[in-house]
């Protein structure tokens, strides 16, 4: 008996791409640079395991599979993953389209690289040049605040605008889809020093991050946020003025 064509079109959710298709994509990339990598255990059961999981849960599942199936210790695994990253992203867009497949790699570093600071920071830097390290960096900020602040100050002066953005976005106290970072809320000078480096940045991608960061501080420490804006407002720099306007667009701020 012939099957009846109901005319229904299968709906493919964006989340579906973060299951077996993403795992196969990563597997192919890793296999091309590492002959020891065994794709079969990495892929086995992925599709069933992803059923009813959210996007973030699927990303974490694949990161856990990377941990179980990559050869060697974390530094060696990180070096293998570095080899698959490909060309840098030269655009302000494309992080979650062309380079979405790096999200499990960032989660892998976030979960399993905490005892390997220098290798992890190098890997987060390379991820950020293509996708984003704003979530992966946060455990390192908590465990190594002085070292990570020093690194983020260096990124704030980088020629790479993705790294400049990371130096701001990763430190946001209320970064969406991330746990609250309250380490600097009461004493924000280390963070504000970085924001001040970026206050005249010409790249909209970076400016928006700085503005959103200021908006966070207008919520979590309004006094400090207003004082920083007062220091910046006496300027004719178009980029600084744009940041202030964007940061205060939904707030009545006495400046």
The dihedral formed by the CA atoms of 173, 208, 243 and 252, expressed in degrees to the nearest 10: -60
**Count of domains for the chain:** 2
Residues across the chain? 255
- 38 with 112, same domain: the answer is yes
- What pLDDT is stored for residue 148 in this prediction? 98
- What pLDDT is stored for residue 94 in this prediction? 87
Q: What is the CA radius of gyration of the chain?
A: 21
pTM for the complete prediction?
A: 0.91
- 175 with 123, same domain: the answer is no
- 120 with 174, same domain: the answer is no
- 29 with 72, same domain: the answer is yes
3-state SS string for 159-218:
CCHHHHHHHHHCCCCCCCCCCCCCCCCCCCHHHHHHHHHHCCCCCHHHHHHHHHHHHHHH
- What pLDDT is stored for residue 12 in this prediction? 41
Residue 159 included in any domain: no
- 180 with 221, same domain: the answer is yes
Decide which of 136, 154, 175 is a domain's last residue.
136
Handedness of CA 102, 243, 159, 134 (dihedral sign): negative
Decide which of 136, 154, 184 is a domain's last residue.
136
Residue 113 included in any domain: yes
Rounded Cα distance, 196 and 217, in Å: 14
Series of mean pLDDT values for 10-residue runs along the chain (255 residues) = 42 70 97 96 96 94 97 95 97 90 98 98 98 97 98 98 98 96 98 98 97 97 96 97 94 63
Residue 251 included in any domain: yes
Residue 173's domain is classified under what CATH number? Answer: 1.25.40.290
Residue 5 included in any domain: no
Residue 10 included in any domain: no
Nearest to 110 by CA among 71, 79, 141, 155: 141
- What pLDDT is stored for residue 250 in this prediction? 78
Range of the domain at 253: 166-255
Residue 85 included in any domain: yes
Distances (CA, A) of 28 to 37, 105, 124: 10, 14, 22
- 76 with 122, same domain: the answer is yes
- What pLDDT is stored for residue 16 in this prediction? 73
- 57 with 127, same domain: the answer is yes
Distances (CA, A) of 215 to 92, 110, 137, 229, 248: 21, 26, 21, 11, 7
Residue 2 included in any domain: no
Rounded Cα distance, 70 and 63, in Å: 10
Residue 122 included in any domain: yes
């Amino acid at each position: 008996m012939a099957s009846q064509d109901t005319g229904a079109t299968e709906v493919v959710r964006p989340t579906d791409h973060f299951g077996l298709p993403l795992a196969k994509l990563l597997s192919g990339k890793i296999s091309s640079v590492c002959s020891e990598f065994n794709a079969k255990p990495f892929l086995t059961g992925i599709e069933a395991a992803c059923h009813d999981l959210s996007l973030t849960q699927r990303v974490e599942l694949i990161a856990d599979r990377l941990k179980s199936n990559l050869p060697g210790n974390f530094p060696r695994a990180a070096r293998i993953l570095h080899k698959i990253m490909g060309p840098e992203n030269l655009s302000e867009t494309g992080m979650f389209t062309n380079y979405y497949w790096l999200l499990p790699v960032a989660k892998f570093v976030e979960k399993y690289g905490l005892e390997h600071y220098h290798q992890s920071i190098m890997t987060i830097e390379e991820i950020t040049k293509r996708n984003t390290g704003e979530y992966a960096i946060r455990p390192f900020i908590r465990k190594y605040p002085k070292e990570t602040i020093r690194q983020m100050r260096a990124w704030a002066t980088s020629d790479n605008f993705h790294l400049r953005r990371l130096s701001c976005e990763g430190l946001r106290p209320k970064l969406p889809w991330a746990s609250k970072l309250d380490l600097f809320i009461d004493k924000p000078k280390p963070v504000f020093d970085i924001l001040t480096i970026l206050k005249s940045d010409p790249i909209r991608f970076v400016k928006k991050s700085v503005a959103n960061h200021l908006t966070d501080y207008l919520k979590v420490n309004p006094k400090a946020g207003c004082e920083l804006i007062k220091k910046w407002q006496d300027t004719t720099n178009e980029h600084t003025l744009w940041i202030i306007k964007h940061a205060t667009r939904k707030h009545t701020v006495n400046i």
